Structures are given as C-alpha cells and as structure tokens.
Amino acid sequence: SILYRKTLRMRPLEEHAEGRRIIVEVEDKVAKVRNIKVDNRQENLWDTKERIVAFGFDYCYWSVDPDDSKYASQEVVFQDLGTSVLSGAFKGYNICLFAYGQTGSGKTYTMMGTPASIGLTPRICENIISNYPEFFFSLQLLFSFLEIYNERVRDLLKQTDNKKPYTLRVREHPVMGPYVQGLSKHVVTDYKQVVGLLEAGIANRITAATHVHDASSRSHAIFTIQYTQAILYNNLPSEITSKINLVDLAGSERADPSYCKDRITEGANINKSLVTLGIVISSLAQNSQMSCSCQSINSIGSEVDSSHTDNHCGTSISSNRRQAYIPYRDSILTWLLKDSLGGNSKTIMIATISPSSSCYNETMSTLRYASNAKNIINKPRVNEDANVKLIRELREEIDRLKAMLMSFELVCTNVYTNRLHMNHSLNLYVNICSEVFCYI
C-alpha cells in the first residue's frame, strides 16, 4: 500500500495582477496562505477565523521569481517527480501524474512546457528513450494522446472527420480495466518521433481565450506511455508492462454570463468532471481512513485475544460504517483514470496556484482539493505477463523440487552409510564376545 504524493507549484504573478500582493509563503514542505478576508481586521478574542492557513505537501516549488534563490525550475521539478515516475515504470508499476489548478495557474506549462523550457512529459519521454541502449533486454514503447471535451473523447493523433470528431467510446475490460475503443497507439523508437507526436497532439487540442488566460485549455488531455520490458531474471524469462498516464486537466473557472454559449457549455462540463473528481478523491480518502481504523481495531483486539470483543467490534464497524460508493462512471475523466485514482497505480498530484491576492478564492479551493488526497491509499503491483509468470514460477518450482530431492538422496546415503558402519561394528562386537566366551 502506498499513499498519494502531493506536490505544490506556484507560478509567477500574472500581468493583470500587477500591484497585487503575494499572499502565499513556502517554508520547506509547508505552504502558508494569508487569509485576506480577516487580514485587515484587528485581532479579536471572539474572531475564530485563522489569519494564516497552512497546508502540508511532499514537495513545494516556488516558481514565482526566477531571480529568487529558492526558485524551482523545470529541471528541479523533473529531478524530484520525473525521476520518481521513471523509477516506478522501470520496476513495472503503473504511474499516474496529473496537474490540477485554476485556469492560467501553470498546469500545461508544468506538464508540457514551452520550446525554450520543456515540461515533465517531454523530459520523461526523452529519458526513457535515452536509457533504451543501456538496457540488456527488449523494450517496446507505445504512445497515445487523447482529449476529453464536453464529456466526449477524441484521438489527438489521428485524423478524424470534422463533422464527427468525437466518435470514440470508453469500454471496461474485466481484467485490464477502462480503455478507449479505437484509440490509436504509436510505436516510438527515438525522441524526434515523440516530439512530433506531442506537437501534433497539442496543435489539435482545443483552446480558447477567457478572462483569465488567452489560450486556456478547454479539455482534459491524457498522454499515455505503455512501457513493456522483456528480461531474463535468473536465466528465466520475464515480461513486465507499466502504463504511465500524464494528465493535464482543464482549468477550473467560474462561469461568466458574458461568455458565449459554447464557452458556458465548456465550463459547465469542465466543472462537472472536476467536481466528480473531487467526490471520487474524497470518497477514496474516506474509505482509506476507514480501512486503517478497522485494521487498528482488529490489531488491538488480537492483542487482547478476546474473540467476543473482536466479533463485537467487527459487527459494529460493518453495520455503522459502510464503505462509501465511488462514482467513477459519473464522468469520462474519472472512469478512464479509475485504476490510477484508487487502484493499481502510484499516483502523483501536482496542485498549481497563483500567489496573487486576486486569486485567493481559487487558491484556497485548489489547496483544499489537494489536501483531500493525502489519505488515499493505493495498492500498486508489478504488472507481469500471466503466461510468462506461470512458466517462470513452474521452473522455479521444478528447481526447488530438484534441490529437495538431492538433499533427500544425500540424507538417505548418509543413513545407509551409518547403518553399514553400525552393522560392521555390531559384527565385530559379536566376534569379540564369542572369542572371549570360548576362552572362558
């Protein structure tokens, strides 16, 4: 079992935020936000609102001022998060890394970057490709790129009919989980091909101007890398597959009546999927906390060694605290990321915010959203081909039985030798006794 890894990144002040003050401070792995609603009030004994609200993270990146000594560049973010993604993928685990935040907070910049400052996705792909010659086993890389726009799925790497671009459907395999039927997968052998796929997908992605950002992403984008390795482990074949989901979520934004109908519809669907994602995360956190509490109660009961107490506790927990329902299918986004959010995956969440006082409400909403994920426990496992795994385990079992047989034969040989020695000694003793008796 493993917890979510939460990270926070702060973007520079927006141009329209000039003159605004910075209300967020970072101390090691803690982000402190000044409450502007009570900041100007005089301290009052009866005022229960906190002036400073603190949120803890696994990593906090201060990317506000490039001249600042604690400025976190794209390379710093990759060294912490990107290397963790690569390490998990090399071992055969599924990995999910997604960025969440308001419109214009730096999600796409963190995930994709710019030509002058590339983000996490191209850096991860570059390192996978560059490490390819160093491995002494075969490797296959399959890439796919899709977007979810208005709760419909489109392939960003495939030419589609302009009249009906959203024809892909989401299905669910009983073993493999949710997948997109008909989604194209591209075999890649060098980094130039990866760059070409990323550029083509980004160019096809839907963006639009909003009050906050001139080129706001109006869809959720999921870039998937299927990473298959065939190796020899102790002279036995082994094949492991890992899936890396790199997710750039659309930005949350409040509806504005001045927007046209298309913008309002886009915003409504974006908020619907993000609200569903929040409900899923809250439900998963609640279930994880419940499981931990049940395990602690059971451990205490086993220490007490009282069957009556154990049965009573188990009955009361099951009757009064049921597992919360997880509404994965309420949104295409949560349905596709079902395993990544609460199953067989190591998940990293990047919360992006603006430190400006003009974005206080959105910043607090993002931080509270991220804090709900701190208690979610996933159970990742190494994804090994079932047939190859069975062959390897059978060979290991044969070797183990051979070793047991050899040890048994060795024991039998020693027993037989000891018995011969005992018989010889007994015969010698009888002969001596006979000679003594005759002499007497």
Q: How far apart are CA 77 and CA 56, in angstroms?
A: 17
Q: How far is CA 134 from CA 77, 85, 131, 139, 427, in A?
A: 24, 18, 5, 11, 69
Q: How far apart are CA 293 and CA 287, in angstroms?
A: 10
201 is annotated as contributing to ligand binding: no
434 is annotated as contributing to ligand binding: no
104 is annotated as contributing to ligand binding: yes
Q: How many CA atoms lie within 13 A of 204 on its CB side?
A: 23
283 is annotated as contributing to ligand binding: no
102 is annotated as contributing to ligand binding: yes
Q: Which of 212, 216, 223 minimizes the C-alpha distance to 185?
A: 223
| Identity of the amino acid at 78 | F
374 is annotated as contributing to ligand binding: no
Q: How far apart are CA 419 and CA 412, in angstroms?
A: 10
Helices 83-90 and 120-130 pack at an angle, to 10 degrees, of 40
Q: Which of 178, 122, 104 minimizes the C-alpha distance to 358?
A: 104
Q: How far apart are CA 158 and CA 156, in angstroms?
A: 6
108 is annotated as contributing to ligand binding: yes
Q: How far apart are CA 267 and CA 259, in angstroms?
A: 10
Binding-site residues: 101-108
Point out the annotated binding site for ATP: 101-108
